[in-house]
Amino acid sequence: MSDLSLKAPITVAYGDGIGPDIMRASLDVMLAAGAQLDIETIEIGEDVYNRGFSSGIEPSAWDSLRRTKVFFKAPITTPQGGGFKSLNVTIRKSLGLYANVRPCAAYAPFVATKHPAMDLVIVRENEEDLYAGIEHRQTDEVFQCLKLITRPGCERIVRYAFEYTRANGRKKVTCFTKDNIMKLTDGLFHKVFDEIGAEYPDLEQEHWIVDIGAAKLADTPEMFDVLVMPNLYGDILSDVAAQIAGSVGLAGSANIGEQVSMFEAIHGSAPRLAGQDRANPSGLLLGGVMMLNHLGQSGVAERVHNAWLATLEAGVHTKDVWQHGVSQQLVGTQGFAEAVIARLDREPQTLKPVRYTASRPFQLPPRKPQAPARKETVGVDLFVQWRGGADDLAGKLKTIEHGPLALKMITNRGVKVWPEGLPETFCTDHWRCRFLNGDGPMELTDIVALSSRAALAGVDFIKTEHLCTFDGEPGFSLGQGQ
């Protein structure tokens, strides 16, 4: 037992607020259950931010994460105000933690829920989408956030979702996107879901537009099994799913990367409960169960999880899940941990016991890169700040037409306003002016010449976006917005 070589190295951070309370409680339970852990501790969060590290983590902490490759993290408090970066986003993106896995199950009747049969897992893409954090103010009135969706990113998360489903004996994978509007970005996610899904004929698969999908999830979550979706939808809907299952305080999550993985609760640092021994440690403990499985210590994971279920069943509850008539004994954080430890050899009688098989985490097959497409530049969108009307702007832009490039369309917030706009359309000071080459491909130098003519004519353009075809397919939206 004391042989360090048998122990799995992990990095632990106690975090802020309720973090230290729930981390101590979770580690106590896991170690009492026989977890073999060689723990390195790092400091993250508020104090580190206040010492001038804008991401809430000291440079030396990365060495520990690189060494152990497994991070068990309590929640932190993100300071208010500008100049601070989200520690979670920094860690996820810096370490390539591409898959955020969040199981959300109901524990009725022991934890109140309107959805007693709910048992689903959300697999959220964790690095891309609007979370690239590339934002610009472009004009007086208009601000932009860039949504980046990549083919390797989609392939990795979608394949992870299918492999996870198989490895965990689940049956169905559902994809949510908004590809009826975002045809290129969300369209790619959906397309990759269909492509990769074809390799998993044993699994049921379906796609929902995210708005109606979210409504179904909130109303009849028992119809879902594993769900995969882009970052923003997954961020929002995994909190919704955890809350309707019973409480955000009960859900753990895994952030999986190729080299390093991180395990945590989904809730925050609940500063108002800090240091009072009142917080529910269950979310972090279930994150710990996911970590033990990841480390191949599945027997210990199963013992901890079943003892936890037996404790809930016995009505030993923290205040956040207390129910009159159901709960039997009100406990604090440490009292709850002791109650789980006292049941380490028990299994639940009403709730379904978990069964984990000893297996290492599955490896995704290496990605097969696609051959590069034949790319041709056929035009340019010139984005202009302009205070007047569409017809006046068109008149000005006609004077800078150059060589093969002719002004074809002006839109405002994606709605066509020239030629033949509607007088009712509300316009801001931000105009997309599309120049196309009528004769097919053109040279980049044509775009440079057009930009140069625009600058000389006093056109206040704030960016250009090149219009390209890929194997003859337009790589840009054609319509006028919807």
Q: Which residues bind ligand NAD (CB under 6 A)?
A: 18, 22, 75-78, 88, 249, 264, 267-273, 279-280, 283, 320
123 to each of 45, 95, 160, 189, 225, how far by Cα in Å?
26, 18, 8, 13, 11
Q: How far is Cα 268 from Cα 430, in angstroms, rounded to an integer?
A: 38
CB of 14 to ligand NAD, least distance (A): 12
Q: How far is Cα 96 from Cα 259, in angstroms, rounded to an integer?
A: 8
Contacts of 4 (CB under 8 A, 6+ apart): 38
Strand partners, 463: 383
Strand partners, 208: 176
Q: In the structure encoding, which two tokens stand for residue 143, read together?
A: 């601000």
Burial of 94 (0-12, 13-18, 19+ CB in 10 A): middle
80 or 482, CB closer to ligand NAD? 80
CB of 473 to ligand NAD, least distance (A): 40
**Which residue minimizes CB distance to ligand NAD?**
268
11 or 269, CB closer to ligand NAD? 269
CB of 281 to ligand NAD, least distance (A): 7
267 or 430, CB closer to ligand NAD? 267
> What is the phi/psi pair of residue 13, to 5°?
-125, 130
Q: How far is Cα 210 from Cα 215, in angstroms, rounded to an integer?
A: 8
Q: In the structure encoding, which two tokens stand for residue 132, read together?
A: 């690239």
CB 107 within 8 A of CB 212: no
334 or 428, CB closer to ligand NAD? 334
CB of 275 to ligand NAD, least distance (A): 13
271 or 275, CB closer to ligand NAD? 271
Q: How far is Cα 87 from Cα 77, in angstroms, rounded to an integer?
A: 10
Q: How far is Cα 296 from Cα 317, in angstroms, rounded to an integer?
A: 30
22 or 192, CB closer to ligand NAD? 22
Q: How far is Cα 80 from Cα 193, in angstroms, rounded to an integer?
A: 38
Count of all residues that appear for the chain in the document:
482
Cis peptide before 372 (omega within 30 of 0): no
CB 315 within 8 A of CB 370: no
How many Å is the Cα radius of gyration of the chain? 26
Q: How far is Cα 234 from Cα 240, in angstroms, rounded to an integer?
A: 10
Q: How far is Cα 417 from Cα 56, in angstroms, rounded to an integer?
A: 46
Q: In the structure encoding, which two tokens stand for residue 135, read together?
A: 């934002």
76 or 123, CB closer to ligand NAD? 76
- First-last CA distance in the chain: 63
Beta-strand pair 252-256/99-105: antiparallel
57 or 279, CB closer to ligand NAD? 279
89 or 415, CB closer to ligand NAD? 89
CB 446 within 8 A of CB 403: yes
Q: In the structure encoding, which two tokens stand for residue 287, read together?
A: 């994150």
253 or 469, CB closer to ligand NAD? 253
178 or 267, CB closer to ligand NAD? 267
Handedness of CA 174, 177, 183, 184 (dihedral sign): negative
88 or 293, CB closer to ligand NAD? 88
